[in-house]
Structures are given as C-alpha cells and as structure tokens.
Structure 1
Amino acid sequence: MPPWKEELDAIVGARAHGQAAAILPRLQQLDARHPNVAEINYQLAWTCDVLGREAAALPYYEKAVALGLPRNVLAGALLGLGSTLRHLAQFERSASVLRSAQLQFPENREFDVFLALTLHAEGKSGEALRLALEALCDTSEDPGIRAYQRALRHAASRL
C-alpha cells in the first residue's frame, strides 16, 4: 500500500461525516508531502466542490486526470471536471470532457444527463432535452415512462 493511502482514506472518511471544511487543510498538507498523486488531487477537487469552491476544484480535477486515475475513479473525476467546468461557464470544455467520458464509459448514463445540463446552459435546449429524454427512456423502470417510451423517443428524435 502506498504510504499516503491510509491517511487519505481516513481523511475521506471524515468528509463523509460532513466535515469537508475541516479536512481541506489536511488534504492540502497530504498533497504537499506527496505531490503528484492523482487520488489526492481528486479528493482535493471533490472536497472543494462540496464546499462550493469550483474555481479551486478545477486545477485539482485537471491534475488528477492528467496524472492518471484507476478506471473506477476516473469516471467520477471526469463527471466532476465536466460539472465544474459548467459551473464556471466553460461550456465548450465541459461538453468536450463529458462527451469524451461518454465514449470511455458508455454504460455510465450520468454523463448523458450532465451533458444535457451543459448543453442547456449553453443555449442548446433542444439537444439537451433530447439527450435527457433518451437517458430517461433507457434507464427508467417507471411503468408510465415505459408505457409511453415510444412516444417519448419519437418526440426526442424531433428535437
């Protein structure tokens, strides 16, 4: 186990108990002692996001992705990066990150929904609604949605 892993796990556990503000300095100290660790940067980004500090989160997300994350963690980092870029009104970059993530993780339908949010923010409401409706039809177990799935798909195709 890497020397930083146990401490990172303990810090992340504290965040789960609503202590995001208190753990940010601990994460920053861990990062200072173990620079260029993708997982630490990802947790820094996530914590900044939880605190509503998207501008501070952005470089941590970018560094975490650039350093390379395990596949199961990368999906969350790309979603966070795309969402953060949307919050910062960097819509083209957000859409690019989320589209890339869709290709890398086609089974993760959350990318469709977050891309729809970005497209809507970008003023592409028709495309956004189409994408959201398709994701809804593909993933919903609701009997009403299932019953009208064909009509919904037809409407989505015309947007």
Structure 2
Amino acid sequence: MREEELAHAVRLREKGEKEEARRLLVGLARRHPGDAEVAYQTAWVHDSLGLEAEAVPYYEKALAGEGLTAEDRLGAWTGYGSTLRVLGRYNQALEMFTRGLGEFPGDPALRTFKAMTLYNLKRPQEAVSMLLKVIAESDKAGGYQRAIGYYADNLDERV
C-alpha cells in the first residue's frame, strides 16, 4: 500500500499535479513518520510548490533516517541546503552543503550551490574559486582546464 501510494504521489508531482501530490505525501508522512523516502518526497513536493519553510522538517527527517538510495541522499543534501539558502539561512546552508560534500565529495551541484552560499555570506573570492574548480574539472572548459584550475587558486595573480 505505502509503495503504491508513494509511487502515485511521485507521478502526480512529475505530471505537475503538485497540490494533489502534496496532499497525498503529507498524509503518507503522517502515517510513516520514520520513513526517509516518504520524508524526502514530501520535502521535494513542498520545494516544488515554493513552500521552502514547510520542506525543512521533511528534509531533516529524510537525512536523519535510513533507506534512501545514494541518489536520493544526494538530492536531499542538495535540496535541503538550497532550501536553507533560499530562506536566507546561509550559515546553516553552508553547513548542509559541507556535510553533503563529506558524503559526496566533489559533487558539482553541491559545490555550485555551496559557492552561491559563500557569495551570499560575502565570501566572493571563495565562491569564484569553487566555481572555477567545478568548471576546470568538467568537460566544458574548452581545453582550458589547466589554466582555469590554476587561476581558481590564484585569482589575484598578475603577470
């Protein structure tokens, strides 16, 4: 029953029927308070509706619980940190991105959101450096990976 209801709610969210998905997921979360997967999906639907503050406790339950796939744990760290950043809770967001990177070192999305948070915390040099490293490690640097990687740590260097 739980699996079918959860799958149905996820399909509704994916089809854009977010309010109905939210209604179903909140009910599931009430009936399964320790279920990390239900909590994660409930957080996600709240975020997708712009209800970030309501998503926070569900992200916390999802990350505190067990049973999420690695992909969903990564999504939960990213979503939770991003939600905290949108809410202006920058120090907490930075902590979540740092913890997420402890579990998923090098993840480009987590690093990019962490860079945005560093910017919000008035730490632009660290933010730009982090973004440059993400670019340098990607296949999108157009052959300039080495130079971009160097300048990520030497932004103020002049010839």
Identify if the C-alpha distance between structure 1 residues 126 and 93 changes in structure 2 by more than 3 Å, giving closer, same or farther: same
Q: What 5-or-longer segments of structure 2 have no aligned partner?
A: none
Q: Bigger CA drift: 26-35 or 79-88?
A: 26-35
Determine what percentage of the aligned residue pairs are the same residue. 36
TM-score normalised by L of structure 1 = 0.90
Contact (CA 8 Å) 1:137, 1:146: kept in 2 or not? no
Instruction: Give the corresponding residue for 2:37.
Output: 39
Equivalence for 1:124: 123
1:4-153 aligned at under 5 Å gives the runs 4-68=2-66, 69-139=68-138, 141-142=139-140, 145-153=141-149
Cα offset, 1:107, TM superposition: 4.8
2:36 maps to a residue whose letter is: A
1:80-102 CA distance string (max 9 Å, x none): 11101111111111111111111
Q: Hey, what's the Cα distance between the residues in 1 that align with 2:36 and 2:127?
A: 32
Q: CA deviation at 1:146?
A: 3.2
Q: Distance in 2 between matches of 1:108 and 1:127?
A: 17
User: How many residues get paired?
Assistant: 154
1:155 aligns with 2:151: yes
Q: 2: CA distance between counterparts of 1:99 and 1:76?
A: 14
Following the alignment from structure 2 to structure 1, what is the Cα–Cα distance between the partners of residues 30 and 16? 23
Unaligned runs of 5+ in 1: none
Is 5-14 or 102-111 further displaced after alignment?
102-111
Q: Name the SS for the 2:15 alignment partner.
A: coil
Moved over 4 A (4+): none
SS of 1:24 mapped into structure 2: helix
1:28-51: CA deviations, max 9, x gaps?
Answer: 112222222111111110001001
Partners of 1:97 and 1:130 lie apart in 2 by 19
Which residue identity lines up with residue 148 of structure 2 in the other structure?
A: L
2:147 maps to amino acid = A
Helix, strand or coil for the counterpart of 1:76? helix
Corresponding letter in the other structure for 1:24: R
Alpha-carbon distance in 2 for matches of 1:27, 1:150: 47
